Amino acid sequence: IRILAIETSCDETSAAVVENGTRILSNVISSQIDLHKKFGGVVPELASRKHMEKMDPVIQEALEQAGTTFRDLDAVAVTYGPGLVGALLVGVSEAKAMAYAMGKPLIGIHHIEGHISANYIEHPDLKPPFLCLVVSGGHTHLVHVKDYGHYGVIGKTRDDAIGEAFDKVARAIGLGYPGGPAIDRIAREGNPDAIRFPRAFMEDGPYDFSFSGVKSAVLNYLNQAKMRGETVVVADVAASFQKAAVEVLVKKTMKAAKNHGFDTIALAGGVAANSWLRESLGAACKEAGIGFHHPSMLFCTDNAAMIGTAAYHAYRQGVRHGLDLNAVPDLKLPE
Ligand code: ATP
Ligand code: MG
Ligand code: FE
């Protein structure tokens, strides 16, 4: 089964050709980071226009690299939510036009289902059920992966997503956009115990998260240092913030695994690329005798290969969408 997958939910225009869910024949990603950098974040209108410009060349390149023509494809898959509506619409319209013109099945995929499915690409032994910690620019979810296409949300953030917190802290300490990778890098030179930032463990929601407190604490720390005329050691702030955020993620994930009896944990989303998080969660799983999986770097942040992998399992389960498929900016994970 050969699937052409398209991803345009945020600021990456991506197309991939994926065979049987695990053979990535191509995975072309055109990032808009340089375009949004000067604004310190993604500007939705600019994102849509850039997707329009890049969509066709990116698909062409994906087909070429895969040595595939339209005729050899079994289906066209596309992210239809959640995400920026104008950005999603570019991919959805393109996928619909292609499916119609070629007379091929159309499969709409949930973006987070894509992130979770990135784990299947390099771990063919990984099969549901398992617990997945989804950490990205817009999500911080503990997800019970019941089966392909069937999910239960055990807990989630009540305010900022973890990636958002990384990006905002990075901006405050002058590291630019996107901040996650920059914090990861500079934190290696800092002391993670230099500053004690708060950890939010809510009594009334053992699996829910809150990152606005730690973010505000970092901003307060910076303001106070400035008022007192003290110099700030950026690497220490980055390392201390990262340690505080990751500690909460790891503790809550391990608690959920133990209380729900999961023997396997997977990590997904852009922040799954974070080296401190990978190490910490990996070590906690090892100690608890729990299996641990994460995608390699390339498949953590937005890409179409993960959508193609999710679509392969959806295809096998008979999922087909009509040409009335629409972009759904607040799409919920299918139960
Ligand atoms: P969502 O998937 O929730 O819709 P998104 O698609 O915008 O949001 P992703 O592309 O999945 O987000 O992830 C981007 C986020 O990952 C950004 O916030 C970025 O800072 C963060 N990120 C990327 N690499 C790292 C890293 N090494 N450490 C920490 N954060 C990282
Ligand atoms: Mg992105
Ligand atoms: Fe994403």
Pocket, ligand 1, Cβ cutoff 6 A = 9-10, 83, 111, 115, 136-139, 163, 166-167, 178-181, 184, 269-271, 273-274, 301-302
Residue 38: per-residue pLDDT? 87
* 57 cis-preceded (ω within 30 degrees of 0): no
Which residues of the chain have a pLDDT value below 70?
Answer: none
pTM here is 0.97
Q: Is 93 annotated as a binding residue?
A: no
326 is in an annotated binding site: no
In this prediction, residue 176 carries a pLDDT of 85
Question: Whole-angstrom Cα distance, residue 239 to residue 223?
Answer: 18
Pocket test for ligand 1, best of 10, 80, 183, 298 (most atoms within 8 A of CB): 10
Residue 115, annotated ligand binder? yes
Write out the DSSP string of 282-329. Answer: HHHHHHHT-EEE---GGGTSS-SHHHHHHHHHHHHTT--B-TT----T
Q: Is 180 annotated as a binding residue?
A: yes
pLDDT of residue 178: 87
Given this model, what pLDDT does residue 182 score?
97
- Atom 1 in ligand 1: which residue has the minimum CA distance? 138
Centroid of ligand 3 to alpha carbon of 233 (angstroms):
31
Ligand 2 (single-atom ion) residues, CB below 5 Å: 10-11, 302
Predicted pLDDT at 139: 97
pLDDT at 40: 84
Q: What is the pLDDT of residue 41?
A: 86
Q: Each residue of 292-304: b (16+ CB within 10 Å) or e?
A: bbbbeeebbbbbb
DSSP 8-state class, residue 331: P
State residue 11 phi and psi, 5-degree precision: -120, 20
